[in-house]
Amino acid sequence: MTRLVGAIDQGTTSTRFVIFDERGSIITYHQMEFEQHYPHPGWVEHDPYDLLATVECCVEQAVRKLEATGKYHATDIVSVGITNQRETTIAWDSETGKPLYPAIVWSDGRTAATVKQLAEKSKNGVNALQGICGLPLTTYFSAVKLRWMLDHVPVVKEALDKGRLHFSTVDSWLIYNLTGGLNRGVLVTDVTNASRTMLMNIHTLQWSDEAVSFFGFQGLQLAKIVSSSQVYGNIANGILEGVPIAGCLGDQQAALVGQKCFNVGEAKNTYGTGCFMLFNTGSEPVLSKNGLLTTVAYQLGSEKPVYALEGSIAVAGSSIQWLRDNMAIISEAKEINDLASQVEDTAGVYFVTAFTGLFAPYWRDDARGTICGITQYTNRNHIARATLEAACYQSKAILDAMNRESGKPLKSLKVDGGMSNSDLAMQIQSDILGIQVDRPAMRETTALGSAVAAGLAVGVWKGVHDLDKVNTENRSLFTSKITEEKREQLYAGWKKAVERSFGWAKDEQE
């Protein structure tokens, strides 16, 4: 019997549906980009219906491609997993099922003043809720975005007052609609997505009354928190009608699972729209003293949850998109490698890609994009290389923090995501980190992670060790080619450039 598993990968700039076989190999997929909305500087929004429509279209097209092979049928797909952009926030009406405002995207920076006001409520400032949820108060997380909506969008406040306000991350929005919406749709969120809202107690895996009260969310309708691997409900319509949705993970946690970082001390870095490094800390949450985030890594069925420390970078691949769409330095994303490889270094140029502030370990929402070290000698090749280096330098800042937390310096970093396709970028990363960079042949590890969760839930795999041989062949290993002295010199320049980026953005009130 052929058993295939589908993975809905709903990302920040595109959606895809990937179909895997029992060996973890891709049979086929379909991908679509969707529109980004930038109504004001620093604001980023999505239309929630665009997210749903691209999911439905990608599922339809990928399954048609599957059947066109003549070897498989839609009925071979035994379960579907979902992985999603995590902190993106949707407010919707429980009686109509309709969004009340555009989705505010995780990278949106409009809430700087909201963060300041919330931090002033507590003697612990931005760490007011860290002991509960493992996270600092920043523009990044979902509850802060919903607080902004309640303060600025009357229809959202009215829905809360009437007890009709659903607050959700993208996973809940998709599962609810795919399982029927107003017609018996299932309202759930998995522990990994819930751990990014600032409303879940990281220790009990339940919604925290104290956190809900802190944000002023009394009366808010919250989804049921479930594990990352179990049957939530069946798809209600379309080409996969009746197939169970059985796995759900936030995209970075899905990549951790897809990279099979199941052992304490293993780490992965995903270079997508942003860049996200996760370090497996085991069955107990570790609260960071170095600007990292404490998050749920995954929970498989009824097993104990596994936790991770995370370092989040707001801008990685989106800086390449910016070079293409805003500056017209390149016409296709892949051209950046051609430009960057034409020079041996950046000739002293550093590009701090703080378009909406800096995330871990800096947490400076007043920072803005800054290019330092430009001379008459500088050309677009240097700018292109500095763009690749930006994510690599920020990854070093995060890895240094993780090494301080763990006391056991990481020897090898597993990588995936769009930018990891660049040999040049991964060589730069190894040079800057001074450790081995390990890249799998199949880089769709985010989709693979959600497929693994969905497959485990329905018995395609019996346990994680059934996956030991999945995606192990033809890995690429990159090792540093520069001296420690050179590495320290380059990184010192980066730290100076980061300091120059601070203080450019003023509070909304000002």
**φ, ψ (nearest 5 deg) of residue 312:** -115, 130
Distance of alpha carbon 42 from alpha carbon 35, whole angstroms: 16
pLDDT at 508: 46
pLDDT at 66: 96
Percent of the chain residues past pLDDT 90, beyond the cut: 78
Distance of alpha carbon 58 from alpha carbon 69, whole angstroms: 17
Q: What is the pLDDT of residues 425-442, one digit of tens each?
A: 999 999 999 999 999 988
Strand intervals (E) in 235-357? 244-250, 267-271, 275-282, 293-298, 306-313, 350-352
Do 363 and 453 lie in one domain? The reply is no
- Is 33 part of a structural domain of the chain? yes
Higher pLDDT, 184 or 8: 8
Strands 103-104 and 45-46: antiparallel
> In terms of C-beta density within 10 A (0-12 exposed, 13-18 middle, 19 or more buried), how is residue 290 classed?
middle
Domain that residue 232 falls in: 4-259+442-467
Q: What is the DSSP string of 66-127?
A: HHHTSS--GGGEEEEEEEE-SS-EEEEETTT--BSSPEEPTT--TTHHHHHHHHTTSTTGGG
Do 11 and 133 lie in one domain? The reply is yes
> In terms of C-beta density within 10 A (0-12 exposed, 13-18 middle, 19 or more buried), how is residue 487 classed?
middle
Do 414 and 457 lie in one domain? The reply is no
Averaged pLDDT for residues 348-366: 91
Higher pLDDT, 254 or 505: 254
CA-to-CA dists, residue 62 to 57, 174, 210, angstroms: 8, 18, 44
Do 422 and 351 lie in one domain? The reply is yes
Residue 327: pLDDT over 70: yes
Residue 509: pLDDT over 80: no
Distance of alpha carbon 253 from alpha carbon 291, whole angstroms: 19
- Is 279 part of a structural domain of the chain? no
Do 112 and 224 lie in one domain? The reply is yes
Compute the half-sphere exposure of residue 388: CA atoms within 13 Å on the CB side of its CA.
33
* Helix 142-152 × helix 154-161 angle, to 10°: 100
8 Å CB contact between 169 and 89: yes
CATH number at residue 121: 3.30.420.40
- Is 266 part of a structural domain of the chain? no
pLDDT at 467: 84
Residue 114: pLDDT over 70: yes
- Residue 484 belongs to what H/E stretch? helix 484-501
Task: Give the chain's domain count.
Answer: 2
pLDDT at 449: 94
- Is 332 part of a structural domain of the chain? yes
Q: What is the pLDDT of residues 174-205, one digit of tens each?
A: 999 999 999 899 999 999 999 999 999 999 99
Distance of alpha carbon 272 from alpha carbon 276, whole angstroms: 8
Averaged pLDDT for residues 25-45: 94
Averaged pLDDT for residues 121-145: 92
pTM for the whole structure: 0.89
Distance of alpha carbon 274 from alpha carbon 266, whole angstroms: 20
- Is 152 part of a structural domain of the chain? yes
The per-residue pLDDT of the chain, averaged, comes to: 93
Averaged pLDDT for residues 498-508: 83
Averaged pLDDT for residues 159-184: 94
Percent helix / strand / coil, the chain, rounded to 5: 35, 25, 40
Identify which of 398, 388, 321, 309 has the alpha carbon closest to the alpha carbon of residue 358: 398
Do 460 and 346 lie in one domain? The reply is no
Q: What is the pLDDT of residues 365-391, one digit of tens each?
A: 889 999 999 999 999 999 999 999 999
- Is 447 part of a structural domain of the chain? yes
Do 403 and 430 lie in one domain? The reply is yes
pLDDT at 31: 96
Do 386 and 449 lie in one domain? The reply is no
Measured CA angle at 447 (ends 206, 29), to 5 deg: 140
pLDDT at 507: 54
Averaged pLDDT for residues 33-49: 94
- Is 298 part of a structural domain of the chain? no
Distance of alpha carbon 229 from alpha carbon 299, whole angstroms: 7
Averaged pLDDT for residues 228-252: 96
Do 98 and 56 lie in one domain? The reply is yes
Do 250 and 326 lie in one domain? The reply is no
Do 434 and 446 lie in one domain? The reply is no
- Is 278 part of a structural domain of the chain? no
Residue 157: pLDDT over 90: yes
Residue 251: pLDDT over 50: yes
**Residue position matching structure tokens 């409900």:** 233
Residue 2: pLDDT over 80: yes
Residue 19: pLDDT over 70: yes
Residue 312: pLDDT over 80: yes
pLDDT at 468: 81
Residue 319: pLDDT over 50: yes
Rg (CA), the chain: 22
Confidence of residue 472 (pLDDT cuts 50, 70, 90): confident
Do 76 and 177 lie in one domain? The reply is yes
Q: What is the pLDDT of residues 478-490, one digit of tens each?
A: 999 999 999 999 9
8 Å CB contact between 165 and 93: yes
